[in-house]
Each structure stands twice: as structure tokens, then as C-alpha cells.
Amino acid sequence: MVLLLFKLCTTPALILAATLVSRRFGQATGGWLVGLPLTSGPIAVFLAIEYGAEFARLAAAGSLAGTTAEACFAVAYAGLASRCGWPACLLGGSVAFAASGLLLTSLALSPAVLFAVAIVSLVAGAALLGRPAVTAAEVEAPRWDLPLRIVVATTLVLLITSIAYVIGADLSGLAAAFPLFAVVLGVFAHRHHGGGAAQNVMRGLLFGLFGFAGFFATVSVLVTRTSLVGTFVAALVVNLAIQGASLLALRRTKRTDRAGGPP
């Protein structure tokens, strides 16, 4: 009962904080922010508590595969956004996520290799997306947006932690990495401001996922070697350090966009 109450309280609080920050600082920053392990991080903690450190280590490897899958999602969605509506973009991104994620999990690669593949995929994805020609306008969210995000995130945490033992550790980690909140931000921006706005969200997501990869690489290394508290505190520190650096890089590219591109 205590663990259930913790799930029901922690996840909505994280999503509330993330949403308010993203609304204040815009679409690309919102995409960067949802690269944080806002749902997958709590899921990793709950899996470690409920199923043990080894299960959590394997799930972390699944989430590292999920990092590459998220990069594939972002590139596929952004690539389609200039000529397709959001349903086709969402379908294409989801197919790219599932295909790449399932392929990587089936290969049973080590966490170190999965981390390297993730970093390469993020760098390549950011290069492929480039810089949108026009900075998209801000999105004014409807009243139902925030409650929906909270409900979806909490449902995902409860669902994955409930069925994790059935689907296995690696698929649990992969499922937890599906970019639900990038989907919410990207689809909403796409519907109201066009493909360029959605591309901004996906570009921000790619920058944010560097910290995500660092978080789960740290978990995979430490979770069977030290305490759960020590593991997740260390993972959070690594995540925040990388997120800070990636935010500076994202802001630098945004300033370049406003100036009309590099000379």
C-alpha cells in the first residue's frame, strides 16, 4: 500500500513540475525537458524495489536500447512533419521506435555497447534534423492538457510495474522509454503550428536524451554493486550534469537560429 501511494504521488508531482517549466520556456526546451526520465526513472526505482537489483539492471539496458529507439522516433517524426499530418508522423515515429528498440533488445548487447549506440544515434539524429528555418510560435495548452499528462504518466507507471515480470526486464525498460510526453508536445504543436513546431520539439528531445542515456548507463553499472539509494542518487547527478550541458548546447543553437544561421 505504501509503495502504491508513493507511485500515485511521485509521478504526478514530477509531471506537473516538468509541464510548468516547459510552458514557460517554449517548445524546444519542452522537448529537451521531456528527455528527462520522468516516467522511466520512477519505473526503474519501482522495478528495483519490487523485483530486485538484477531485474533493474536488465531493465536499464532495455531503456538504453530505448534511447536509440527514441532517437529513431524523433528523426522519423520530424522527417515526415514537413509533408504529412500528425497521424502519419506519429505512426511513422512509433514504427521506427518499435523496430529499432526490438532489434536492439533482441541482440542482447552489453550496456556499454548500448550506451555507445545511443550516443551515436543522438548525435546523428541531431545532425539529420538540423535547424528549423523558422522558430515556431509558442503553444497555448488547453485546460485538459495537464490533467491528461498526469493521468497518462501515472497509468504508464502502474501498468509497466504491474506487468514487468510477465514481459521481462528488457521489454519493461524499452516500454518505459516510449516518448509519451514528446508525443503530447509534438502532436499538439503540430496540430496548431505546423510541422516546423513539431520539429522543434523533436530536436529538443534529442538534446534531452543525452542525460537520459547517462542516467540508465549509471543505473546499469551500479545497481547490483551498491545500494538502491546510492545508485539512483548517482544516476540523478549524472543525468543533471549532462542535462545542463545539453541545455547550454540547445540554447546556443537557438541563438544561432535567431541570428539567421552560422556565417
CA distance 18 to 136: 20
Asked if residue 251 belongs to a domain, the reply is yes
pTM of the model: 0.81
What are the phi and psi torsion angles at 108 (to 5°)?
A: 55, 50
Query: Does any domain span residue 22?
Result: no
Q: Is residue 76 part of a domain?
A: yes
Task: Please identify which residue in the block is written with the cell numbers 542482447.
Answer: 108
The pLDDT value given to residue 163: 80
d(CA 136, CA 129): 15
- Per-residue pLDDT tens, the chain, 263 aa: give them: 555 666 677 667 766 776 676 667 666 676 777 677 877 888 888 888 888 999 999 999 999 999 999 999 999 999 999 888 999 999 999 999 999 999 999 998 999 999 999 999 999 998 998 765 454 455 566 677 778 777 877 787 777 777 877 888 888 888 888 887 788 778 877 887 788 888 888 988 898 899 999 999 999 999 999 999 999 999 999 998 998 888 787 777 655 544 444 33
Distance CA 15, CA 220 (A): 24
**Buried-exposed string 130-161: b where 16+ CB fall within 10 A, e elsewhere:** eebeebbeebebeeebbeebbebbbebbbebb
Write out the residue range of the structural domain in which residue 104 sits: 7-12+27-257
Indicate whether 219 belongs to any domain: yes
Residue 2 lies in a domain: no
Note the pLDDT of residue 94. Answer: 94
Query: In this predicted structure, what is the pLDDT of residue 259?
Result: 43
Q: Provide the domain count of the chain.
A: 1
